[in-house]
Amino acid sequence: MKIAILSQDASLYSTRRLKEEGEAKGHQIQVINYLQCYIKITAHQPSILYNGKPLESFDVIIPRIGSSKTLYGTAVVRQFEVMGVRSANSSQAIQRSRDKLQCLQILAREGIRIPVTGFAEITQDIDDLIETVGGAPLVIKLLEGSQGFGVVLAETNQVARSIIEVFRQSNSNILVQEFITESAGEDIRCFVVGGEVIAAIKRQGAAGDFRSNLHQGGQAKKVKLTSQEKKIAVRAAQATGLNIAGVDLLQSNHGPVVLEVNSSPGLEGIEKATHVNVAGKIIDFVTKNAMLEVSAAAGRRSARLPL
Ligand code: ADP
């Protein structure tokens, strides 16, 4: 099969591994920097130009869209879809999961437990907003942050108020969330491929940091999930319509809660900690399944309009 990996940098671990595994399985793999793609939108012959030349056709694409380039990246993925090329994750599902608020609303609609979360536009509502999530300690998050950047813990209502004011003044969209104290700087990353958890790690934040992101110095180790955790991770991926997803869970006193669902989960931490060939499993999935149907089926089951 001819497979394109959409990635800004061919030397990134995840991109390299996908290419390596794809080639080892006899496929033709090309890494395409989606930022160098131009889109031509016409009804007769929609196309993509790459470095000024029309792009050859592919059977399937594996998008690895950077969080700061969601708008352009998903426009390129959508153009492949318009041209009839299958995508491992659809442009719509990527967009849904990138907006933390939308993602949480979708999870809540499906009855999947999440930390209590508040969102407001007007600054006068700050005290109410803080109360909505039960007061401090609470977590304040930039709507489009990733890898732990723009995620702040406020230990007191006073600190929370000051942080919210600063974010509001810079016109940043934020959400306010109940702090799951008992998770103690640990979370679980479940790697879901095609409706199945294929690998999972527990991440522990660096000393003194409540964020467990590996990019913030967190450590990863292999973990065995309970069947409840597996089920929640799969449901969360399906709710957002992602075939390939990194679902982050926190252990709360009331059981696991879903923190977020990532559309381009990193491969390095999880492959090294678990020795699971995650890249190989992704290649097998995209070459053996009609991915768009999988997402469509998830949408049909809930019989609701897509958010
Ligand atoms: P990002 O998308 O930037 O990774 P997250 O929402 O996943 O943002 O938060 C980063 C990390 O901060 C999480 O992995 C978790 O360890 C910690 N964290 C985030 N929200 C909460 C919360 N409500 N309670 C406890 N810890 C949290």
Q: What is the pLDDT of residue 305?
A: 47
Q: Name which residue sits closest to atom 14 of ligand 1, judged by CA.
A: 212
Helix (H, G, I), strand (E, B) or coil at 4: strand
Q: What are phi and psi of 12, to 5 degrees?
A: -65, 145
pLDDT per residue as tens, the chain (307 positions):
999 999 999 999 999 999 999 999 999 999 999 999 999 888 888 899 998 899 989 999 999 999 999 999 999 999 999 999 999 999 999 999 998 899 999 999 999 999 999 988 766 778 888 999 999 999 999 887 778 788 999 999 999 999 998 888 888 888 999 999 998 789 999 999 999 999 999 999 888 888 888 888 889 999 999 999 999 999 999 999 999 999 999 999 999 999 999 999 999 999 999 999 999 999 999 999 865 544 444 444 444 545 6
Q: How far, in Å, from the CA of 152 to the mean position of ligand 1?
A: 9
Q: How far, in Å, from the CA of 211 to the mean position of ligand 1?
A: 6
Q: Determine the atom of ligand 1 nearest the C-alpha atom of 145.
A: 3
Q: Name which residue sits closest to atom 18 of ligand 1, judged by CA.
A: 211
Q: How would you classify the pairing of strands 60-63 and 86-87?
A: parallel
Q: What distance in Å separates the CA atoms of residue 166 and residue 182, rounded to the nearest whole number?
A: 28
Q: How far, in Å, from the CA of 260 to the mean position of ligand 1?
A: 8
Spatial CA neighbour of 22 closest among 72, 60, 64, 51: 60
Ligand 1 site-directed mutation target among 152, 176, 211, most atoms within 8 Å of CB: 211
Ligand 1 site-directed mutation target among 68, 177, 182, 213, most atoms within 8 Å of CB: 213
Q: How far, in Å, from the CA of 287 to the mean position of ligand 1?
A: 33
Q: What distance in Å separates the CA atoms of residue 253 and residue 48, rounded to the nearest whole number?
A: 50
pTM here? 0.92
Q: What is the pLDDT of residue 307?
A: 60
Q: What distance in Å separates the CA atoms of residue 149 and residue 205, rounded to the nearest whole number?
A: 13
Q: What distance in Å separates the CA atoms of residue 148 and residue 157, rounded to the nearest whole number?
A: 22
**Which domains, from first to last, does the chain contain?**
2-88 (3.40.50.20), 117-179 (3.30.1490.20), 182-276 (3.30.470.20)
Q: How far, in Å, from the CA of 210 to the mean position of ligand 1?
A: 8
Q: What is the pLDDT of residue 301?
A: 43
Task: Output the ligand 1 site: residues, CB below 6 A.
Answer: 115, 139, 141, 145-149, 151, 177-180, 183, 187, 205, 210-213, 248, 250, 259-260
| Token pair in block for residue 174 | 């934020």
Q: Determine the atom of ligand 1 nearest the C-alpha atom of 187.
A: 16
Q: What is the pLDDT of residue 291?
A: 57
